[in-house]
Amino acid sequence: MKIRLACDRDIDAWMSLVKRVRDVFPGLESDKAMSEHRAAVQRFIQQSPAVCAEEDRRILGALLFSKENSMLCFLAVDPNCRRQHIGRELVSFMLTQMDKVKHITVTTYREGDPNGIAARAFYKSLGFSEGRMTEEFGCLVQEFILKRPVIG
Ligand SMILES: CC(C)(COP(=O)(O)OP(=O)(O)OC[C@H]1O[C@@H](n2cnc3c(N)ncnc32)[C@H](O)[C@@H]1OP(=O)(O)O)[C@@H](O)C(=O)NCCC(=O)NCCS
């Protein structure tokens, strides 16, 4: 398995993974939303970093982030490949590309939501702490923040 930046030819394999996990993500319910998401992933691949875990042309994990906003925008690992530290490796790769002094934010489900159990435990295990409550696509979510050391 290799962690690397995604490229144009990965889009179909990337979207196969998204199809398998779409139930967990608010805003991916309809076919129209999936088409829009595909276009967004293509934009990320071309303009902003998109990171994947690939094995034999299959995408086992996918991560989108914004360097500009210091934000993790999307992260998913194939349900058959979880707890193998693929998510952790994707985040480590992302950190090598980010500004070293800016805090990094991500939003995920609030405590008590079954969809958030893995993600909340995952972010906490990586040192993220709980931040403000907010809403996304009409869904109640919470920000998690990775505080970076102040240098100098
Ligand atoms: C969250 C997600 C990306 C984690 O990916 P993963 O590759 O399985 O995670 P890792 O194997 O790197 O886990 C690292 C650590 O996180 C914690 N963790 C991960 N999943 C966990 C779970 N289901 N329950 C408890 N702790 C968990 C553990 O501490 C784990 O370390 P350990 O296995 O050595 O104990 C994956 O479960 C997923 O794709 N979920 C659905 C989509 C999602 O929720 N995305 C994030 C929303 S913003």
Write out pLDDT tens, residues 104-145: 999 999 999 999 999 999 999 999 999 999 998 888 999 999
Rounded (5°) CA angle 114-116-117: 70
- Domains identified in the chain, total number: 1
The pLDDT assigned to 36 comes to: 97
- Which tokens hold the place of 134? 């907010």
What percentage of the chain carries pLDDT values higher than 90?
89
Nearest residue by C-alpha to atom 4 in ligand 1: 87
Q: E strand or H helix at 139, and its extent? A: strand 139-146
pLDDT beyond 60 at 152: no
- 142 occurs within a structural domain: yes
Q: Which residues contact 149 (CB under 8 A, 6 or more apart)?
A: 101
d(CA 23, CA 6): 23
Report the CATH number at residue 71. 3.40.630.30
Write out pLDDT tens, residues 90-107: 999 999 999 999 999 999
Write out pLDDT tens, residues 39-68: 999 999 999 889 999 999 999 999 999 999
Secondary structure string (H, E, C) spanning 13-71: HHHHHHHHHHHHCCCCCCHHHHHHHHHHHHHHHHHCCEEEEEECCEEEEEEEEECCCCE
Nearest residue by C-alpha to atom 37 in ligand 1: 118
The pLDDT assigned to 137 comes to: 83
* Residue 84 Cα: closest atom of ligand 1: 11
Residue-range definition of the domain harbouring residue 75: 2-146
- Which tokens hold the place of 85? 């530290």
87 lines ligand 1 (CB under 6 A): yes
First-to-last alpha carbon distance for the chain, in angstroms, is 37
pTM: 0.96
Nearest residue by C-alpha to atom 28 in ligand 1: 122
- 151 occurs within a structural domain: no
- 67 occurs within a structural domain: yes
Nearest residue by C-alpha to atom 19 in ligand 1: 122
Rounded (5°) CA angle 5-52-97: 45
The pLDDT assigned to 126 comes to: 97
Write out pLDDT tens, residues 141-151: 999 999 987 66
